[in-house]
Amino acid sequence: MKRISFLFIVCFIIFSCQKSIKNIVNIDPTIDSLLVKKHLFTLASDEMEGRKVGTPGIEKAASYIETEFNNLGLTFYDSLHGYRQTFTFKSREDNQVITTSNIIGVLLGKSKKEEYVIISAHYDHLGIKNISGDSIFNGANDNASGVTGVLTLAKYFKEKKLNERTIIFVAFTAEEMGLVGSKYFGKGIDSSKYIAGINLEMIGKSPKFGSNTAWLTGFDRSDLGQIIQKNLLGTGYQLFPDPYLNYNLFFRSDNASLARLGVPSHSFSTTSVDLDQDYHQPSDEVQTLNINVITQTIIAIAKGTESVINGQDTPSRVILTNGKN
């Protein structure tokens, strides 16, 4: 009897261990929803005052992103002495001259240091407006969710050490004022070194294709989308071409600034832009978002882009006729 009990206990322990090992394989410990929540809630908090360019609110967001890059040990971009790429521009709204910064952190590639993959999202939003009621435009979906993705992916790829290519993580400024930050960044680059651009834009809501799906802007303009689809086979997560072609979204987010230079640079999104009631409204708050959607999408981007990050796949270049469409 004792012997049978002993055998039972041994079997139970072995079974339990196998189960926990299996869980670790299935759920990547470096992308967890608690970290996603921390970044999202911080960036979309009232304290950040809607992250309008030129305000103390966006300064707090910039400091937060810098601190995260620093904690991860990312290095500086190009000849910069910090994570900020600072510049001035004239606002098209009121002709004011504004000083602002893209926040850039670099994870050097192991064997292909001169081949770059950029992972980006804009961190600015609309700020506070003089309206009654809730006057803070928190921009939780647009685009605290995307920056949350960039920060989480930076941690993931830093820990995974699979990047044969150099990854440049960028939080772009002044997207809402006309893609100003990404245009400035694009002016200074040798685009031939940029292998792919992965931009995250509003990844916090369930898309019309159902859960565990996202869509990619400009899907047919390079084969990056097909490469990602191939890498996601069997994961249960699906990537679709952008279903809102009449919205011209490919040219309306920061991916466009690099795509115009030929870089296969596209935006990931999950939001049904035709139905979304919170777009550019004070109601774009964290309560309207689904943490699980954000987390699963970040995991899908990590898995989906792995063969580009590790140098196995090289997507085709974007060719624009007239430089416009």
Q: Which stretch binds Zn ion (CB under 5 A): 104-112, 141-149, 188-196, 278-286?
A: 141-149
On whether the CB atoms of residues 177 and 184 are closer than 8 A, the answer is no
Q: Taking CB under 5 A as the rule, does residue 124 contact Zn ion?
A: no
For Zn ion, give the closer residue by CB, 142 or 242: 142
> 71-76 contacts: CB < 8 A, separation 24 or more?
72/105, 72/154, 72/155, 72/158, 73/158, 74/105, 74/106, 74/107, 74/154, 74/158, 74/169, 75/105, 75/106, 75/107, 75/108, 76/104, 76/105, 76/106
267-306 residues in contact with Zn ion (CB under 5 A) are none
Shortest Å, Cβ 144 to Zn ion: 10
Pairing relationship of beta strands 97-107 and 165-172 according to DSSP bridges: antiparallel
Shortest Å, Cβ 53 to Zn ion: 13
For 195, the enclosing helix (H) or strand (E) is strand 194-200
Q: Taking CB under 5 A as the rule, does residue 143 contact Zn ion?
A: yes
Shortest Å, Cβ 269 to Zn ion: 9
Q: Taking CB under 5 A as the rule, does residue 142 contact Zn ion?
A: yes
Q: Taking CB under 5 A as the rule, does residue 217 contact Zn ion?
A: no
Q: Which stretch binds Zn ion (CB under 5 A): 59-67, 127-135, 137-145, 203-211?
A: 137-145
Asked if the bond preceding 248 is cis, omega within 30° of 0, the reply is no
Q: Which stretch binds Zn ion (CB under 5 A): 30-38, 72-80, 129-137, 140-148?
A: 140-148
Shortest Å, Cβ 122 to Zn ion: 6
Phi-psi region of 161 (alpha: psi -120 to 50; beta: other; left: phi over 0): left
Shortest Å, Cβ 20 to Zn ion: 40
Binding site for Zn ion (CB under 5 A): 142-143
